């Protein structure tokens, strides 16, 4: 029975969202926040991929990127079928500084590119960091870039959306049935930016 269920889950078709850069992102993903590095993260990601998940979300602040990368590499799923998201922490923000942090992230993950890379919080030199994210896109190190928790106010949102060369492909904020964030849902639609939910089940 278990094997049959597992086989059925593996054949489930993932739904995709088309981002404003034309790239398709799997809509349903596994976030590994608060999962301990090592076997816990490795086994969680490996099992998720075997069950049909194709979107894994980590961050430097989670301190489990190495285990995420190992599970991706050893899953048997082709890398191009897996959507890998990570996030830079504010102490990595700033032109030159962020470029170095991206290279270090790629090394920790053991991959050649990241599908979606967020600025984790709207503090520090996030404008300088965004310039380095744009360079990383042009260099093929990152496919899509976005902002996380930039719902603090309209100003920090506009600092990126209205003044940078590349518009964010996605914004990740808390959004679930008990915090539906209707203002941000409508605002992001106007800018053709996908809203990605953290804590989606509330």
Number of domains in the chain: 1
Asked whether residue 14 is assigned to any structural domain, the reply reads no
Catalytic, out of 62, 93, 118, 126: 62
What pLDDT digit, counting tens, does each position of 34-90 carry?
999 999 999 999 999 999 999 999 999 999 999 999 999 999 999 999 999 999 999
Q: What is the pLDDT of residue 12?
A: 58
Beta strands in the chain (DSSP E): 16-18, 24-26, 30-31, 55-57, 83-88, 114-119, 142-148, 170-174, 194-198
Residues 6 or more apart whose CB falls under 8 angstroms from that of 14 comprise 26, 27, 28, 52, 53, 54, 55
Q: Given a cut of 60, is residue 2 above it in pLDDT?
A: no
Write down the mean pLDDT value for the chain.
94
Asked whether residue 56 is assigned to any structural domain, the reply reads yes
Q: Is 33 a catalytic residue?
A: no
Q: Is 80 within 8 Å of 111 (Cβ atoms)?
A: no
Verdict on whether the full-model pTM lies above 0.85? yes
Asked whether residue 15 is assigned to any structural domain, the reply reads no
Asked whether residue 73 is assigned to any structural domain, the reply reads yes
What are 134's two structure tokens?
């744009």
Asked whether residue 16 is assigned to any structural domain, the reply reads no
Helices (H), 92-169: 97-109, 126-138, 154-161
Asked whether residue 100 is assigned to any structural domain, the reply reads yes
Residue 153: give the domain boundaries: 27-198
Q: Is 136 within 8 Å of 117 (Cβ atoms)?
A: yes
Asked whether residue 4 is assigned to any structural domain, the reply reads no
What pLDDT digit, counting tens, does each position of 131-143 carry?
999 999 999 999 9
Instruction: Report the CATH number that the domain containing residue 124 is assigned in CATH.
Output: 3.20.20.100
Asked whether residue 121 is assigned to any structural domain, the reply reads yes
Q: Is 145 within 8 Å of 134 (Cβ atoms)?
A: yes
């Amino acid at each position: 029975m278990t094997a049959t269920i597992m086989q059925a889950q593996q054949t489930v078709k993932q739904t995709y969202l088309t981002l404003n850069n034309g790239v398709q992102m799997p809509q349903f993903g596994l976030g590994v926040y608060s999962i301990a590095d090592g076997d816990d993260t490795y086994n969680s990601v490996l099992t998720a991929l075997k069950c049909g998940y194709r979107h894994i979300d980590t961050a430097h602040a989670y301190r489990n990127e190495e285990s995420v990368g190992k599970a991706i590499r050893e899953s048997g799923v082709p890398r191009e079928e897996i959507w890998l998201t990570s996030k830079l922490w504010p102490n990595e923000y700033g032109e030159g500084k962020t470029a170095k942090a991206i290279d270090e992230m790629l090394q920790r993950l053991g991959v050649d590119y990241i599908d979606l890379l967020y600025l984790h919080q709207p503090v520090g030199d996030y404008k300088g960091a965004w310039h380095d994210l744009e360079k990383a896109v042009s260099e093929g190190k990152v496919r899509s870039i976005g902002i996380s928790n930039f719902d603090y106010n309209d100003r920090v949102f506009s600092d990126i959306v209205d003044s940078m060369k590349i518009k964010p492909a996605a914004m990740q904020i808390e959004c679930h049935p008990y915090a539906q964030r209707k203002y941000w849902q409508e605002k992001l639609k106007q800018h053709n930016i996908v809203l990605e939910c953290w804590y989606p089940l509330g």
